[in-house]
Amino acid sequence: MKSFSYAKVATAEEAAGLLKQRNTRLIAGGTDLLGLMKERLIEPDRLVDVNGIAQLRGITATKENFRVGALTTLAELAAHQATPLIIKEALADAATPQLRNMATVGGNLVQRNRCWYFRSAEHRCWLKGGPRCLAVDGDNRYHAIYGEGECRQVTPSDLAPALIALDATVVMRTDEGEDSLPLAQLYVAPTARHRREHAVGDDDLILAVRIGGDALRRHATYLKFMERATWQFAVVSVAASARLVEGRAQDVRIVAGAVANIPWRVKAAEDLLAGEKIDDARALAVAERFVRDARPLRDNAYKVAVLRELVRRAVLRLKD
């Protein structure tokens, strides 16, 4: 880890001011940032510690609105009584207890991906400015099974698919002031000009995440597949939600994590469920449709099978 200067700020304004400087990064939980710095993947000259900004902490919950400050830790979010069940499910197997105690909601949403070529300081992959994605001809057992882009990394967050399944919005402070947008829109597959997993700039500040009342009343569930019982980033994850009207599904969301550059939805699969009763045959059809367009790489065809099964099971669980 290269040496750096360090400042603590007490307000979002102070943070915004300092973050305008070149090669300056904000530190909140630090669990991803310090890992990147220890590998020398990023070498900021200055760190701005935002943990003292009181307004970014805490959870406010009403029947119509669930708002989580960006500095709320994953553990605090998981423990709150008003936190939707799907979020609790997503956090139960996210990282480890210590990491959940440290990591913040804001940081979780903008963490960098876990691709081992990206994480290796000695590999210059496409996302880090190299000529091509090294996973394509390399070991790609954990990589993307969807998407056309250059980069085959996958979204690591457990929280993001669950929040998107609840149509969460994110409140940000950018150069243009305070802005609110659907969380899903934060995630944009990297392009040659924007080699990043999301649209949040280094000087942007995430203030909070919000879930509206409609979504809070949906049936929703989160399933995660790992190769050991705990402490692994998702090999595949699925968040699903729906409103049940007289036993028929409405407002269906099925969001898969760890299968593409961004949290992945297949509209046609959701449509297959909309207005229908949930049963075994329907769940299987939805799952089949979800994976129909998957294009696995050499080593990760198994992820398609796992995804199909997770979608099927998640859809069935919406009944309960």
Instruction: Summarize as ranges the residues that interact with another protein (CB under 8 A).
Output: 1-10, 14, 17-18, 27, 30-31, 34-35, 38, 40, 45-47, 49, 51, 75, 95-99, 101-102, 114, 116-117, 120, 122-123, 134, 137-139, 141, 225, 227-233, 235, 299-302, 305-306, 308-310
Instruction: Write down the least CB distance from residue 289 to another protein, Å.
Output: 17
Instruction: Write down the least CB distance from residue 281 to another protein, Å.
Output: 14
Tokens representing 17 are: 């001011």
Instruction: Write down the least CB distance from residue 155 to another protein, Å.
Output: 16
* CB closer to another protein, 171 vs 226: 226
The residue written with tokens 């040496």 in the block is 3
DSSP assignment of 207-261 equals: EEEEEEHHHHTSEEEEEEE-SSSSS---SEEEEEEEEEETTEEEEEEEEEESSSS
* CB closer to another protein, 92 vs 245: 92
* CB closer to another protein, 108 vs 169: 108
* CB closer to another protein, 254 vs 304: 304
Instruction: Write down the least CB distance from residue 5 to another protein, Å.
Output: 4
Tokens representing 228 are: 């050991």
* CB closer to another protein, 245 vs 305: 305
* CB closer to another protein, 222 vs 225: 225
Instruction: Write down the least CB distance from residue 158 to another protein, Å.
Output: 14
Instruction: Write down the least CB distance from residue 236 to another protein, Å.
Output: 9
Tokens representing 215 are: 């979504």
* CB closer to another protein, 11 vs 174: 11
Instruction: Write down the least CB distance from residue 16 to another protein, Å.
Output: 12
Beta bridge partners of 239: 222, 255
List of residues 6+ apart from 245 with CB closer than 8 A: none
* Total Cβ atoms within 10 A of residue 251: 15
* CB closer to another protein, 173 vs 312: 312
Instruction: Write down the least CB distance from residue 238 to another protein, Å.
Output: 12
